[in-house]
C-alpha cells in the first residue's frame, strides 16, 4: 500500500514535468541502490496475485458467490473483477514503462504519449483508477472482517477503508489529469 501511495503521489507531480522527472529518476535510483526493495515489492505483488487467482478460481467471476452473505455479493463480485482489471493493467503498465527505463528524463513525455495517444487508454485508465480505489478500500474492509477486528470497531474500519479509497482516488486522478491535459 505504501508503494502504491508513493507511486501515485509521484505521478501527481506530473503537473510539474521537471519535478515529476526528478522524482521518477529518484525512485529508479532508489530501486538500484536498494534492490531488496524491488524484490520485496515483487514478492508482495506475486503473493497478492496468487491469492487473488486462487480466490477467483474458487468463486468465479459471476455475482453468485455461494460463500457470501446476500448483501456482500456485489462487493465480492466487484472485488474479483477489479482485481482482474488491475492485473491486466499492471502487466501492461510494467511492459510499457520498462521500455522507458533507460531515459528517466522522458518519463513525463512517455506517460503523456501513452495516455494521449488513444481514447481507449484514457477510458481504461479511468476504469483502473476507480477499480484501484474500490479494490484497496474494500480489501481493507474485508480484511478487517476476516481478521475479526471489524466487528469490534466497524466505524473505525469503515473510516480507514473510505480514507484509503479517497486518497487513492485523489492521487490517481491527480496523476491522470496531469498527463492527459
Q: Is 35 exposed, middle or buried (0-12, 13-18, 19+ CB in 10 A)?
A: exposed
Q: According to the model, what pLDDT value does residue 54 have?
A: 86
pLDDT along the chain (181 residues), means of 10: 85 85 83 80 89 81 63 82 90 72 55 68 89 93 84 88 94 86 65
Give the pLDDT confidence score for residue 11 in this predicted structure.
85
DSSP classification of residue 62 = S
For residues 175 and 12, is the Cβ–Cβ distance under 8 A?
yes
Q: Rounded CA gap, 160 and 154, in Å?
A: 10
pLDDT confidence of residue 127:
93
Q: Residue 151, Cβ neighbours under 10 Å: how many?
A: 10
> In Å, how far from its chain's centre is CA 166?
13
Does the pTM of the predicted model rise above 0.85?
no
* pLDDT recorded at residue 94: 77
pLDDT at residue number 114: 63
pLDDT at position 181 is: 65
Q: Return the number of other C-beta atoms located less than 10 Å from residue 115's C-beta.
A: 21
The C-alpha cell of 169 is what? 482516488
Rounded Cα distance between 44 and 4, Å, is 12
pLDDT given at position 41: 84
What is the Cα–Cα distance from 176 to 181, expressed in whole angstroms? Answer: 9
Amino acid at each position: 500500500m505504501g508503494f502504491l501511495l508513493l507511486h501515485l503521489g509521484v505521478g501527481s507531480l506530473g503537473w510539474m514535468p521537471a519535478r515529476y522527472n526528478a522524482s521518477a529518476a529518484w525512485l529508479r535510483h532508489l530501486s538500484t541502490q536498494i534492490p531488496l526493495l524491488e524484490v520485496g515489492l515483487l514478492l508482495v505483488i506475486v503473493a497478492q496475485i496468487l491469492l487473488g487467482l486462487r480466490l477467483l478460481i474458487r468463486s468465479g467471476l459471476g455475482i453468485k458467490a455461494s460463500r457470501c452473505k446476500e448483501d456482500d455479493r456485489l462487493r465480492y463480485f466487484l472485488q474479483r473483477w477489479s482485481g482482474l482489471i488491475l492485473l491486466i493493467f499492471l502487466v501492461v503498465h510494467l511492459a510499457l514503462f520498462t521500455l522507458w527505463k533507460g531515459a528517466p528524463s522522458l518519463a513525463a513525455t512517455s506517460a503523456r504519449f501513452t495516455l494521449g495517444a488513444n481514447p481507449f487508454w484514457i477510458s481504461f485508465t479511468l476504469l483502473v483508477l476507480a477499480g484501484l480505489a474500490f479494490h484497496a478500500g474494500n480489501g481493507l474492509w474485508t480484511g478487517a472482517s476476516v481478521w475479526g477486528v471489524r466487528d469490534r470497531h466497524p466505524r473505525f474500519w469503515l473510516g480507514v477503508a473510505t480514507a484509503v479509497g479517497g486518497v487513492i482516488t485523489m492521487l490517481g486522478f491527480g496523476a491522470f489529469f496531469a498527463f492527459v491535459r
